[in-house]
Amino acid sequence: MGLINITALKEGMVLAEDVRDRNGRFLAACATALTGKHIRILKMWGVVEANIQGVTKEEVEQHLIEDIDSATMEAAEKLTQDRFALNDIDHPAVRELYRLCVERRAREILRGEETAPVNGGNGAGRPEPAHRADAAPPGPAAFLNHEIKLPTLPGIFLRINETITRPNSSAFDIANLISKDTSLSARLLKIVNSAFYGFPSKIDNLFRAVSIVGTNQLSTLATGVSLIDAFRKIPSHYMDMKMFWRHSIVCGTVGRILAGYKNIQNTERLFVAGLFHDIGRLLLLQHAPEISCELLRAARQNGHVLYELERERLGFDHATIGGRLLEQWKLPFSLENVVTHHHDPLASRNPLEPSILNVADIMTNVVAGGCSSQRLIPRLHEAVWKTINLSENTLPLIVKQADRQSDEIFGFFYGDKSKN
């Protein structure tokens, strides 16, 4: 018998023990032969694995890749091995992420897709600096206060923020305000009616959306969606913004799903944190382009992690800059904290949400391939994994959910659902 991921359960498999949901609710008895209805119920109640008689996890995994020939799997493994150099492949979660990465690369090969470039975040035409840039920018506070002109905030963002903080504001006030921005309203309604929420019936107006999703949740989502427009004018020779937002949307989607497993109320906060976790990279590229290009090139070519190179060269990293920016924009401290500490979550006094975003970022580097700017998968620290306290068997289900949700959301911003 063995613990089998919910996505691999088949009709006719027999339970080796009772199945309960995360709150201990009894769902199915030991020795039950699974039917399609059983499997649907288990998924509906958030079950991620079940103990099955007469089958091991390894046998099921082998069955899942039976349609992939050995030569393709070998080629995919060669493409994957080096990327995990910083990680302990014997760690259960890392081993599962490695398996998912190999399978994904193999299916890309079979589809005839080129392996995603490891530089990902930068456009092919980006000019490389002719020499090493000697002058590092000042510390993060001085950098934001004196060195750069902050992106102009959309007017709707300022009005949403003002309305949220007003003690007597209501759900009607929020919906009425957002409805006056037709572009934002249309995007939010698309998201609310997408797989992101999975509501059974269509929600056709913002007033109903606020009542169902919640005032804080929809306001948080509106904040994130409206701020994307503040960074639309990054020159393409510095950053492929389509790939940047692909990575950010996938990261936010994974973060939101992980937050749901930890029963965090406003999971939209993790989605927005994912959208803006790398916002500091955009500021550095805009205002210190030579140093930024140098560090990005080193991260790609020499197998270094970008944020570690930034700390060594600048004395701070893009996460610190991003957090300071959110602070200056007067966004909630909870959001600023997650962005600031997503590379060192245990340094935060409230490490759970930064840990969730840290794991989401690592998972995004695994499943979204070339959407990041570095060749290596960042290290998954055991203490961080213990902080979020999930089974590695949740990972395939989370990836499957995130694929569907993030593809749809990405299409709302860029008009297609292509991976690259």
Interval 86-98 mean pLDDT: 95
Is residue 329 over pLDDT 50? yes
CATH number of 1-56: 3.90.105.10
Given pLDDT bands bounded at 50, 70 and 90, which one contains residue 84?
very high
Q: How far apart are CA 126 and CA 142, in angstroms?
A: 27
β-pairing, 49-52 with 19-20? Answer: unpaired
Is the Cβ–Cβ distance between 351 and 345 less than 8 Å? Answer: yes
Q: Comparing 391 with 4, which gets the higher pLDDT?
A: 391
* pLDDT tens column, 116-159: 444 434 433 344 433 344 455 666 666 666 555 666 667 777 78
pLDDT tens digits along 169-217: 888 888 888 888 888 888 899 999 988 888 888 898 888 888 888 888 8
Q: Are 25 and 41 in contact (CB under 8 A)?
A: no
- pLDDT of the residue at 233: 66
Average pLDDT taken over every residue of the chain? 82
Confidence of residue 226 (pLDDT cuts 50, 70, 90): confident
Q: Do 406 and 253 touch, CB atoms closer than 8 A?
A: yes
Which range among 15-29, 218-232, 307-321 has the greatest average pLDDT?
A: 307-321
382-398 burial string, b = 16+ CB within 10 Å, else e?
eebbebbebebbbbbbb
- The whole-model pTM stands at 0.78
**CATH T-level assignment (fold) for domain 140-154+191-205+212-217+224-414:** Hypothetical protein af1432 (1.10.3210)
Q: For residue 150, what are the contacts with CB-CB under 8 A and spacing of at least 6?
A: 144, 325, 328, 329
How large is the average pLDDT for residues 24-35?
89
With a cut of 70, say whether residue 222 has pLDDT above it. yes
pLDDT score at 219: 82
Kindly list the domain boundaries of the chain, sorted by start residue.
1-56, 65-115, 140-154+191-205+212-217+224-414
